[in-house]
Amino acid sequence: MLGARKETGAVSGDPQSLIGCSAAMQRVRGRIERFARSPVPILIVGETGTGKELCAEAIFRLSGYAPFVPLNCAAIPEGVAESELFGHERGAFTGAVQSRVGVVAQAHGGTLFLDELAELPGPLQAKLLRTLESGEYRPVGAADVRRSLFRILAATSGDLRASVAAGRLREDLLHRVSAVRIALPPLRARLEDIPPLAADLLRRYRARAQAGPARITPDACALLMQQPWPGNVRELRNVIEASAAAAGSGEAIGVAEVMECLAGGGADGAAPDELLTLAQVPRGPSGGRFSRRWGGRAATGSGRPDCCASVRRRSIGSSRRSGISHSTLRTGRFRGS
């Protein structure tokens, strides 16, 4: 059993990972709030760049199962995966001049987050499964069995069923870590979240660079909302930062800066002929440019989704920082210049 939970905050306290009032993000928040406080394993699935680790951190903050120990299984150097996971004793192998505590021990009483789980070597998957079932593990070179009890969160950007079929992932391990699944939507499925996301990303860039434009023009935002974003929020971040750098000492990121960065390939090497120009952005009945996917009404026809109060406050703050009015962020209608 895990130890007593420690209150560490709420989802609403996370300004980055859960920005957005779209129905898709409301569903994500709903599942986080429903399952975070339970010790059940959660599998987070989504394309690369959708924010799986940020989602895991939000679950951790709401859960109270501290500490939070992340490990990217795809980034572990070959030959040291078992040591990273379970630790090792001094002298266990050549170069082991001192003992090492693995992430399993570090996460005792808290949360272990394994990103790209399917990249974990096959033999270690069996050992991990045994640890999840019994709480027992053995560091490399150790004579004794030790115990660690923790909550497991896992994530993947790939097709886990295909990984199971190809023999890269144990099916029993998949079942063990996926009691609950949270699917993160790609950015193209929540284009209405781009204005507040872009404003927040620009604010973060300015905080790091101590310089840069203070806002994004409405036409530039409309152009951003018409792109396919194969790299999702990570790609949007790169485009915003590159556009801010291109704007230099200017007051705002405009269409020219966004077009320059998109045509230059952004994060995913998109070719110029794959981009939509501002002239291609559709106009509404009043002549204002807006996104076909903005979703002025929810799929149910009951009007715009009622976002939680914390998100509304962030949206208002984003509008002030970006120079886009709050009503524009809410309705998604951008008037042409």
Task: Give the position of tokens 């990984």.
Answer: 163
pTM: 0.75
Using a 10 angstrom Cβ sphere, with 0-12 exposed, 13-18 middle and 19 or more buried, the burial of residue 310 is middle
Q: Nearest Cα to 187, choosing from 20, 74, 60, 26?
A: 20
pLDDT over 90 at 53, yes or no: yes
Residue 2's pLDDT band, with cuts at 50, 70 and 90, is low
Q: What is the pLDDT of residue 96?
A: 87
Mean pLDDT of 320-329: 44
Q: Sketch out the chain's domains with CATH numbers.
A: 11-185 (3.40.50.300), 190-334 (1.10.8.60)
Q: Find out whether 11 and 309 touch, Cβ atoms under 8 Å.
A: no
Q: What is the pLDDT of residue 9?
A: 38
User: β-strands 68-72, 42-45: how paired?
Assistant: unpaired
- Gap between the Cα atoms of 318 and 103, Å rounded: 37
Q: What are phi and psi of 151, to 5 degrees?
A: -95, 135
147-181 residue pLDDT tens: 999 999 999 999 988 999 999 999 999 999 999 99
Q: Find out whether 47 and 232 touch, Cβ atoms under 8 Å.
A: yes
Mean pLDDT of 326-335: 42
- Gap between the Cα atoms of 115 and 117, Å rounded: 5
- Gap between the Cα atoms of 266 and 143, Å rounded: 52
- Gap between the Cα atoms of 159 and 171, Å rounded: 13
Amino acid at 76: I
Q: What is the pLDDT of residue 78?
A: 78
Q: What is the pLDDT of residue 191?
A: 96
Mean pLDDT of 14-40: 87
pLDDT over 90 at 336, yes or no: no
Mean pLDDT of 324-328: 46
- Gap between the Cα atoms of 303 and 272, Å rounded: 36
- Gap between the Cα atoms of 240 and 253, Å rounded: 8
- Gap between the Cα atoms of 106 and 180, Å rounded: 24
Count of H-run helices and E-run strands, the chain: 13, 11
pLDDT over 90 at 4, yes or no: no
Task: Give the position of tokens 């120990």.
Answer: 69
223-279 residue pLDDT tens: 999 999 999 999 999 999 999 999 998 999 999 999 999 987 544 444 444 445 545
Backbone CA torsion sign across 221, 227, 232, 235: negative
Burial 182-212 (b: 16+ CB within 10 A, else e): bebbbbebbbbbbbbbbbbbbbebeeeeeeb
Q: What is the pLDDT of residue 94?
A: 86
Q: What is the pLDDT of residue 34?
A: 96
189-202 residue pLDDT tens: 999 999 999 999 99
